[in-house]
Amino acid sequence: MTPKKSVSRRDILKIGAAGPLLAAPGLLLSQPAPIKIGLVHPVSGGLAYSGGQGRLGCQLAIDEVNAAGGIKSMGGARLQAVLGDSQSRPEVGVSEVERMQQEGVSAYVGCFSSAIALPATQAAAKYNTPFLIDVGASDAIVNRGLKNVFRFKPGFGKCADDAVIALGEINKAAGGIAKTAVLVHEESEFGTGTANLMESKLPSIGVQAVEKIKHANPTRDFNNVVLRIKSLKPDLVIMSNYQNEYVLLARTMYQQRVDVAAFFSVLGGGFNYRLVKEQPQVAEHMMDFNHWFSPTNQRAQAMKKRVESTGNLFTFEVYCGYNATMLYVDALERAKTAAKEQVIAALESSTWSNHFMPYGPTRFINGQNQGGSGALLQATASDIEVVWPGRFASKKAVFPKPKIG
Amino acid sequence: MDSTILISAALNGLLVGGIYTLVASGLTLIYGVLHIINFAHGSLLMMGMFGVYYLLIKLRLDPYISMLIMVPAMYAIGYVLYKGLIGRFSSGKDENILLITLGLSIVLENLALMFFKGDTRTITVGYSDTMVELGPLLFSLPKVISFFIAMLLCALLGLYIKKSNTGKAIRAVAKERMGARLVGIDVDRIFAISYGIGVATLGAAACLLMPIFYVSPYTGHVFVLVAFTVVVLGGMGSFLGAVVGGLIVGLTESFGGLFLGESLGQIGISLIFILILLFRPQGLFGARG
């Protein structure tokens, strides 16, 4: 006689609990493999803040795509961020690219700094892995014939061109009062390259660069630089520096009562909402030609609110990172695969327009988006306003700025 | 070159040198007693600067008033760090202390990065942009105040080390550890006190620096190499050396920047470092080992 075994309530619960687990392999098989994106940013070291902001922008894009159901043309494949820290050092950026390649990334987004982007993109080129530059000003990043590198935002060549046009227009409107300029720049590729470009282009608007002053990173005191500027009596001071030195230089010029028509920076590292908040007197009337979102775009405004509600600033690194990642997402949707060759082909033929930068549809030549353009910004005592181009300016430029004291 | 610029560069170099002096005095005290280079010096300075920043932002406490809180607080942190971490885990070996302070600096920097993020922060107080006018020259009032307070604190610290019983015990331990132990001095406690005082000077330096500088998790790096140079120049463990060394380094940096440009000018500090090591390794006021 076989013993009769009754099925208890507990047994039924156990089977119930095991059910989903038994079904899981089937579910996993039907789920497409995630697409790994390597985020190569300097989240430690001297550039940590900017790197962290860039990473934040990329992650916002990844979260948004995943929340909306992943890459639709690939059966809802999810995006997965593989995080890297270049530690603000080019050689570490390269080793992060190599590590992420081992982890099977399908593309990279980064690097904030030109000095890191130059070798990092080269390392990725060995594997023909698409590399989307979110921030990195040097034009050498895209001018070396690397087929895998794409930059959505403009480089320093285009920024310098547009900055000179913008400066020329506001100077002309003020009666051409500015005729001389002193250029102050940090010593690496970004600052030196930008200053050289500005020096060569300024004569086209009737402004002569009377001196170029280079400084180290870090510089602890700018008094000598500012005394030199005062002795040259220029009409403009044009700066290209990273955040720390920008802040220190701006404060020293204010304290030493440097009276010029404008403090004008190109891709000024420290020109942001924090400077306006913490040093409103110093920041007021300072001008910066930089990347800026389309102020009338509702998505941009919603994202700005979302970022600020988390205690972060909506800086250019955030929306450049977001849009660079979204550009890759658009290429994935059209290529219907993460295979590198097809994605690169999709990026080359990209006409993506669902972004919130004032660029129009994308069109890449040698990896550089042709429609990209920056905006001329000016700080008020409590905010940052767009003063050029006129089609989306929120305020008229104050030029020349009022005399100090 | 315009003589006004030369005079301004000289005075400005001295003012900046005053701050270097204060940062270096803690480093030289710790070296003099414990015979180790405190690799966490820069990170502790950075933590102090964040402390001053938040005392102003959250409690509206003026940076100079903050000194009344920051100096004892940093002393307590230094004392506890030595008693609970450095002294406990070093087993009395100098190389262990080096590694522990190095590890501590990495931990502090990354904690700062986690909690404060990599952003550059500055403070603005009523007198931030007030300038002292000296003929055609302008000097930032906070920088002038910082210089005089730094010099005063260095003098007070020197007097304390020279005259007080604890100071005498510190000097005894610095000179002859075993002898000090034999006459009944609690050497381990003196180590902790010395480390505490060294860190307390950073609390004062943080209060003097915040009105004129910025803070980020890596601000310590900006000052730590200069502080090492000052200590080597003045002589390891010498207070007078730290004062003279700080002022010389401030002047060198200022004139280097003026004549060679701000990029190349900083070579002057490295040059001093190398020349001192080559020709007077004990420093200007250090005793020959």
pLDDT digits (tens, 9 = 90+) for A118-165: 999 999 999 999 999 999 999 999 999 999 999 999 999 999 999 999
Contact criterion met (CB < 8 Å) for B138 and A220 = no
Confidence of residue B4 (pLDDT cuts 50, 70, 90): confident
A366 to A76, A149, A348: CA distances (angstroms): 31, 8, 8
Q: What end-to-end distance do the CA atoms of chain B give, in Å?
A: 43
- CA distance to partner chain B, nearest, from residue A232 (Å): 12
> Least CA distance to B142: which residue of chain A?
A255
Q: Which of B23, B56, B263, B269 to mutate to test the interface with A (most CBs of A within 10 A)?
A: B263
Contact criterion met (CB < 8 Å) for B122 and A247 = yes
Contact criterion met (CB < 8 Å) for B5 and A227 = yes
Nearest to A218 among B217, B222, B265 (CB): B222
Question: What span, in angstroms and rounded, lies between the C-alpha atoms of B190 and B91?
Answer: 16
Query: Rounded mean pLDDT of chain A?
Result: 91
- CA distance to partner chain A, nearest, from residue B70 (Å): 22
Contact criterion met (CB < 8 Å) for A243 and B120 = yes
Rounded mean pLDDT, A382-397: 91
Contact criterion met (CB < 8 Å) for A216 and B266 = yes
For chain A, domains (ranges, CATH) are 35-154+295-372 (3.40.50.2300), 157-290+376-392 (3.40.50.2300)
Domain ranges of chain B: 34-115+139-217, 220-289
Question: What span, in angstroms and rounded, lies between the C-alpha atoms of A162 and A156?
Answer: 10
pLDDT digits (tens, 9 = 90+) for A260-300: 999 999 998 889 988 999 999 999 999 999 999 988 889 99
pLDDT digits (tens, 9 = 90+) for B230-239: 998 999 888 8
**Integer-rounded Cα radius of gyration of chain A:** 25
Residues of B in contact with A85 (CB under 8 A): none
Any idea of the CA torsion for A50, A55, A56, A62, to the nearest 10 degrees? 160
- CA distance to partner chain A, nearest, from residue B37 (Å): 22
Rounded mean pLDDT, B162-166: 94
Q: For residue B286, is pLDDT > 90?
A: no
Contact criterion met (CB < 8 Å) for A49 and B218 = no
Question: What span, in angstroms and rounded, lies between the C-alpha atoms of A386 and B241?
Answer: 53
CB atoms within 10 A of CB A19: 10
Q: Calculate ∠ Cα A302-A305-A308, nearest 5°.
A: 150
Q: Of A339, A292, A348, which is closest to residue A153 (Cα–Cα)?
A: A292
Nearest to A244 among B113, B120, B258 (CB): B120
Residues of B in contact with A256 (CB under 8 A): 131, 138
Residue B244 has what pLDDT?
94
Question: What span, in angstroms and rounded, lies between the C-alpha atoms of B111 and A313?
Answer: 21
Question: What span, in angstroms and rounded, lies between the C-alpha atoms of A113 and A117?
Answer: 6
Residue A146 has what pLDDT?
97
B171-188 burial, b if ≥16 CB within 10 A, otherwise e?
Answer: bbbbeebeebeeeebebe
Nearest to A48 among B2, B113, B138 (CB): B113
Residues of A in contact with B119 (CB under 8 A): 49, 274, 313
- Retrieve residue B150's tokens: 């730094």
